Amino acid sequence: MTGSKSKEPWYLQLHGQVGIALLSGFLVGVCARLLAPHGFPTEAFGEGVGVVGDIFLRLLKMVIIPLIFTSLVCGVASLGDARSVGRVGLRTVLFYTLSTTLAILVGLTLVNVFAPGRYLDIGSSATLPEGLSSSSQSLSHFLLHMVPDNIVRAMGNGDVLPVIFFAILFGLFLVRINGPNVDTVHRVMEGALEVIQGLTLAIVKLAPIGIFALLTREVVRSGPELIMRLLPYFATVGGGLLIHAFVTLPLILVLLARRNPLEYFRAVLPAVATAFSTASSSATLPLSMECAEKEAKIPRGISSFVLPLGATVNMDGTALYEAVAALTIAQMYGVPLDLSQQALVLATALLASVGAAGIPMAGLVMMVVVLEAVGLPIEGIATIIAVDRVLDMMRTSTNVWSDLVGTAVIARFEGRSP
């Protein structure tokens, strides 16, 4: 990956190429749709191009678990002792809670002012996706499964949170226990990390191709008419996400991390763009880690800790969306929610965003938790589902951008800003 101060022309640098990929993916998708009435096989074209994107997605997923494990073990070991790890952990959790709460407040303000639910009808013909039932989601289940009963199974299933839990403990005991054998394990971990980082770097170079392919398919699949029908709701969530991403988070970056938001955004753009096209924080993690370390110069001890945790539990965009969607559904059913009920929405949206996995549509599934908390019918989800994919892309980029802002803030508080 090229450095942000590189002499290379912008279009040869990764963020320039990613920008071109976003624009051309969108344009090619629109052209394919326009050509459909003239006999162009638009659908087949979109799905065909999409396969290239799927390969990119699988490559990313391939490196997630080994990357999290080796970098977290080495990162925790480099922090030295349990007290430092605890301090970084506490700061991380505090920051994530703060930024997510701010996001929800922005969402609640907008949804109260614009009341998009007034424009929606109950009883859309859309059906609820499978697995969207009250029994399928529980927060205690989430907490329990943070502790793996079988680490190999957790890794095999790609369950990030239990792997994080085990890797932190492994890293802590790696520095606590002395001896030549343990030193060898430490060196093996460092070596494995170097190899997996090299591999990740090679995959990251493919990001522009992957982003182009995924975006083209997305535009071909979900045309603009879907968005039009739910425009007020779409604009409320989208507007909230934009305010949080381009006002709140940059302010935090300046005030708490003392970083230039424009420069920082440019350094991490490949990660944010990948989040947009994949709608998955987890799949974006390899890119986030590369950008944070190589481009934004965040020390590995910090980024390897803050980012995997963030990709799993810090979802500002998802939380904002949960709050807006819940209130929109309440407005649609003509059920006004008073201040205490809105406070309950805030709390459950926060918890639901922590519990949502970093995969596409996870936020939609967690809506059940929020709706049930305030006694709203979960069937309301069927109405807003039509625009979920596009909102998912937007909220995932906000989630990832917030993780990266958090990393800069924690690095500064730990006295390890570049």
Q: Which of 70, 124, 248, 281 binds ligand ASP (CB under 6 A)?
A: 281
Q: Which of 22, 211, 356, 409 binds ligand ASP (CB under 6 A)?
A: 356
Whether residue 75 contacts residue 300, with contact meaning beta carbons closer than 8 Å, is answered with: yes
H or E, element range at 66: helix 42-79
Binding segment for ligand ASP (CB under 6 A), chosen from 6-14, 211-219, 231-239, 395-403, is 395-403
* Interaction of residue 363 with ligand ASP, rule CB under 6 A: yes
Residue in the shown chain whose Cβ atom is closest to ligand ASP: 363
Q: End-to-end distance of the chain based on CA atoms, in angstroms?
A: 18
* Interaction of residue 100 with ligand ASP, rule CB under 6 A: no
H or E, element range at 300: helix 300-313
Binders of ligand ASP in range 300-319 (CB under 6 A)? 315, 318
* Interaction of residue 57 with ligand ASP, rule CB under 6 A: no
Q: How far is CA 257 from the centre of its chain?
A: 21
| Residue 183, φ and ψ in degrees, nearest 5 | -60, -40
Which lies closer to ligand ASP via its Cβ, residue 342 or residue 353? 353
Which lies closer to ligand ASP via its Cβ, residue 80 or residue 158? 158
Strand, coil or helix: 416: coil
Whether residue 245 contacts residue 395, with contact meaning beta carbons closer than 8 Å, is answered with: no
* Interaction of residue 396 with ligand ASP, rule CB under 6 A: yes
Binding segment for ligand ASP (CB under 6 A), chosen from 18-26, 105-113, 198-206, 356-364, is 356-364
* Interaction of residue 359 with ligand ASP, rule CB under 6 A: yes
Q: How far is the CB of 81 from ligand ASP (least distance, A)?
A: 32
Which lies closer to ligand ASP via its Cβ, residue 395 or residue 412? 395
* Interaction of residue 397 with ligand ASP, rule CB under 6 A: no
Quick one: tokens of 337? 């929610």
Whether residue 50 contacts residue 213, with contact meaning beta carbons closer than 8 Å, is answered with: yes
* Interaction of residue 4 with ligand ASP, rule CB under 6 A: no
Binding segment for ligand ASP (CB under 6 A), chosen from 10-18, 105-113, 218-226, 393-401, is 393-401
Whether residue 300 contacts residue 411, with contact meaning beta carbons closer than 8 Å, is answered with: no
Per 3-state DSSP, what percentage of the chain is helix, strand, and coil (rounded to 5)?
80, 0, 20
Contacts of 58 (CB under 8 A, 6+ apart): none
Rounded to whole angstroms, how far apart are CA atoms 201 and 204?
A: 5
Q: How far is the CB of 67 from ligand ASP (least distance, A)?
A: 17
Rounded to whole angstroms, how far apart are CA atoms 362 and 279?
A: 10
Q: How far is the CB of 60 from ligand ASP (least distance, A)?
A: 12
Rounded to whole angstroms, how far apart are CA atoms 379 and 245?
A: 30
Rounded to whole angstroms, how far apart are CA atoms 268 and 271?
A: 6
* Interaction of residue 348 with ligand ASP, rule CB under 6 A: no
Q: Which of 16, 232, 360, 377 binds ligand ASP (CB under 6 A)?
A: 360
Rounded to whole angstroms, how far apart are CA atoms 399 and 80?
A: 29
Q: How far is the CB of 77 from ligand ASP (least distance, A)?
A: 28
* Interaction of residue 280 with ligand ASP, rule CB under 6 A: yes
Number of residues that bind ligand ASP (CB under 6 A): 16
Which lies closer to ligand ASP via its Cβ, residue 29 or residue 363? 363
DSSP string, 212-259: HHHHHHHHHHS-HHHHHHTHHHHHHHHHHHHHIIIIIHHHHHHHTT--
Which lies closer to ligand ASP via its Cβ, residue 237 or residue 337? 237
Q: Which of 75, 171, 208, 358 binds ligand ASP (CB under 6 A)?
A: 358
Binding site for ligand ASP (CB under 6 A): 279-281, 315, 318, 356, 358-363, 392, 395-396, 399
